[in-house]
Structure 1
Amino acid sequence: MLITRATLLDGTRTDIRADRRIVAMAAEIPPLPGELVHDAAGGTVIPGLHDHHLHVRAAAAAAASVRVGPEDVADAGHLGRVLVTRAPDRDGWVRAVGYHEAAAGPLDRSVLDALCPTVPVRIQHRSGVQWFVNSAGLARLGLAGHPDGVLSSADPRWSAALQRAQLDVTAFGELLSSFGVTGITDATPDLDDAGLVGELRQSLWVLAPGKRILHDDALDLDELTGWIAERHAGDIPVALHCVTAAQLVVALEALRCAGRHRFDRIEHAAVVPDGSMALLAAGGATVVTQPNFVAERGDEYLTDVPEAEHHELWRVASLRRAGVAVALSTDAPFGRPDPWAAMRAAVYRRTPSGAVLGAAERISPADALTLFTGEPQRPAVPRTVTVGAAADLCLLSTPPDETLAELDAGMVAATVIAGEVVYRRD
């Protein structure tokens, strides 16, 4: 294909000829007979966006689930009405996602039994690390004697008993294409594609078998150090899920003891205490973080987190100043899958009510966009539109200055993967 009258982010005007890779760039390139021509009309062309941490299976499942977050249900009575009126899936379950205690308080089997006693119900906490199951659901899982119905997502002893429904990833891939996303990194531990159907056009990079979720109640420095060393011995980098200060402290010490791999990662780094900054920089791991949660959940942080610790939440600018390699992602479906919204969150740091959370962590629009264009294995190393690069491109309808001023998914005019147009807005 030939893209004419394109503008690069630095203002350079160029035509671009692409096959699976970019084969030519010049101020004016005559079209070849039969060549597909896309007139960018002065719009910006950037490398296709790469979401460096999301969950394909969970996103496909979430699309078929009922949402019960604070923005969806007002109280326990409302939650109960949503559950009892929801038709069970083909596997007999009512599956709900996105729950947080701000919606209807703490959940356990007794609370769910009072709200929905007869149909098997399982509700995923919005963090993704816990499920709440009622007695009917526990009986189906062979866990009738379980004390409270609060189950860990990482525990295969109960999840293996579920009958996995076929999950169609096509719609999720099409949604990502409309955002200009040409590649994704799946951060699910022990990922496999069993039960997945449909077509996902984006290139896919996976963190398994090096992904590890840490839990505050099971932090074992020696065991984690051994696990990391074992992965490194097989030339496998690790990606450690750290959403609390305790998890980060143990992860950094384990990485120091086990030795580093050049592609090691810290996922989320939701809380980075001041005292951990230098250790994080010295360790050399890339931080893949999600400032979109400031825009999505920031008002709850303002209430739940002591004010003296607000500056430690979802850092970006201070990490980069300290020399930490940083990339951005959405954590879909636990965060909204729109990378442009995540960019705006990194720039403005505004909560849903409009308050600013972590003003010192703001970055420029150009930096926010660039942090979504990294290489899969080196997320903090941005890709560029240049001859020889893969023809994975995001074509915008706006010139560079407007693109950076707006950072809006509505600007995406077309998405090109391996030289093929997979999305066109009109």
Structure 2
Amino acid sequence: MLIINARRLTGPPVAVRTAGDRIAETGADLVAKPGETVIDARGGTLIPGLWDHHIHLRATVAAAASIRVGPPQVRTPEEFRAVLAAATPQPDGWIRAVGYHNSVTGDLDRHTLDAVVPHVPLRIQHRSGAMWFVNSVGLAALGQADHPTGQLFRQDTQVAAATAGSATAFGPLSARLSAHGVIGVTEATPNLTAADLDSLDDAVGEGQIRQRVMVMSVDSGREHPNLGFGPVKRILDDDTLDLDGLSEWVAAVHHRGSAVAMHCVTVAQLVVATTALRTVGVHAGDRIEHAAVVPETMIGDLVELGVTVVTQPNFVAERGDEYLRDVPASEHEELWRLRTLQSAGVPVAGSTDAPFGDLDPWAAMRAARDRRTVSGSEISISEQISGAAAVNLFLGEPGDPGTPRELTAGSAADLCLLSASPEVVLRELDGELVSATVIGGELMKR
């Protein structure tokens, strides 16, 4: 394949020839060879394909078939009750709802849900992904009929095992990712079972998932030729923080030759995570996931440790109005930092955290550049980065997400072609401009 008449994001013209799954040659004036497929970019922009460095594939597929019961779709108790009353069960017999936030109708428990849906199993996921709320019929189906509240914290594995239906159909999600120019993803769900890994490996091998996939779980020991294994992820929760235990876990993972990725959405979690790394030592590839709140005093710690921060600027837009309402103004500058981290020398990469954030990486880029909420309000405007820097958040290697890939001979033929000039691309940052996605030298159908 030969792509001609393209421009790099930085402006200069470029043509790219692929051979197999690699870039064979780049230059300004490459000439087509006999029988070579030629794509004329007509002055459009050619960049390495995007990589979403933190996403939950199976949960994103499930969320697409679920009912939304949180902002912005549902905001009031009346809307909440109306949506659930009109819901019909999925083929597995359950009503599955996602995106709930306490601002809609306060704390949920089994009795609240029984008053709305008394006779059909119902499970509702909090938008954080940490909690399931289940009604009494659902609890009985899960074998937890005596559970006092129906609030199941960090019980995804148990809920999934008890509600598993047909095999996950990844094809539509993969097509959506390709339409956005995404050529690879990091599956950030921790503690994947051998069956989970087998399922993902099969989905990639069979072409249901066209993207390259790296997982953040321990290798099960079985052969998974279609998956890459990255840092091992651990979720931290404030009420179970244990520095000694975490340090022992980090040391054990490092001893096996793997990096760690620690989920940190509060200051307390970040303090314990960085302290554990300082105690044990840092392994190449260690990551902090989210870094939702970073006090000024902790930026130096991240620099000293040399860890990469994988963050989600899309939440500035998606949840910013709630932050402005609920978070003290003095703490706004600590939320979802970008510029200050990069300026200090912290490697930073971007992701969507779908389905807990919107799947569109271009929306995340706009949020990184504009720092505007849904209502148009600005939040921590000092953390704005340029459009080019926002694109670079999604260009990193899976194992080195803070370092953008380049269009160079010998690198993977994973490409994103946009129909507009670099000037327009950087102004719009819109996935609608994606005209072609190439993964491993193969053009994805739109």
Report TM bin, short chain: over 0.9
Distance 1:325 1:186 in 2: 20
Distance 1:30 1:335 in 2: 43
Secondary structure of the corresponding residue to residue 183 of structure 2: strand
Say whether 1:379 aligns with 2:380. no
Contact 2:308 2:349 in 1 (8 A): yes
* Counterpart among 200, 207, 214 of residue 216 in structure 2: 207
Distance 1:369 1:57 in 2: 25
Corresponding residue for residue 391 of structure 1 = 413
Output one character per residue of 1:22-60: Cα deviation in whole Å (capped at 9) or x when no partner.
112222222222211100001110000111110111111
Contact 1:416 1:423 in 2 (8 A): no
Output one character per residue of 1:82-112: Cα deviation in whole Å (capped at 9) or x when no partner.
2232211121111111111122222111111
Correspondence list, 1:26-425, <5 A: 26-154=27-155, 156-191=157-192, 192-193=196-197, 199-209=208-218, 210-424=232-446
Spell out structure 1 runs of 4+ moving beyond 6 A: none
TM-fit CA distance, 1:159: 4.4
TM-fit CA distance, 1:359: 0.7
TM-score normalised over the length of structure 1? 0.96
Corresponding residue for residue 15 of structure 2 = 15
Query: Percent identity over the alignment?
Result: 55
Distance 1:165 1:83 in 2: 24
TM-fit CA distance, 1:81: 2.3
Matched length: 424
Output one character per residue of 1:226-263: Cα deviation in whole Å (capped at 9) or x when no partner.
11111000011111001111111111111111211110
Distance 2:251 2:166 in 1: 36
TM-fit CA distance, 1:5: 0.7
Label 1:69 to 1:390 Cα distance change in 2 as closer, same or farther (>3 A): same
Output one character per residue of 1:315-356: Cα deviation in whole Å (capped at 9) or x when no partner.
011111222111011111110011111011000100111111
Distance 2:436 2:157 in 1: 41
User: Quick one: which amino acid aligns to residue 139 of structure 1?
Assistant: A
Distance 1:14 1:361 in 2: 32
Distance 1:190 1:393 in 2: 31
Q: What is the CA RMSD across the aligned residues, in angstroms?
A: 1.4
Distance 2:397 2:270 in 1: 24
Distance 1:250 1:164 in 2: 38
Contact 2:26 2:407 in 1 (8 A): no
Secondary structure of the corresponding residue to residue 380 of structure 1: strand
TM-score normalised over the length of structure 2? 0.92
Distance 2:274 2:144 in 1: 36
TM-fit CA distance, 1:217: 1.0
* Long gaps (5+) in structure 1: none
Distance 1:314 1:144 in 2: 40
Corresponding residue for residue 225 of structure 2 = none
User: Quick one: which amino acid aligns to residue 8 of structure 1?
Assistant: R
Distance 2:287 2:27 in 1: 38
Distance 1:117 1:44 in 2: 54
Corresponding residue for residue 224 of structure 2 = none
Distance 1:79 1:9 in 2: 45
User: Quick one: which amino acid aligns to residue 116 of structure 1?
Assistant: V
Distance 2:137 2:23 in 1: 56
Distance 1:31 1:114 in 2: 68
Contact 1:164 1:195 in 2 (8 A): no
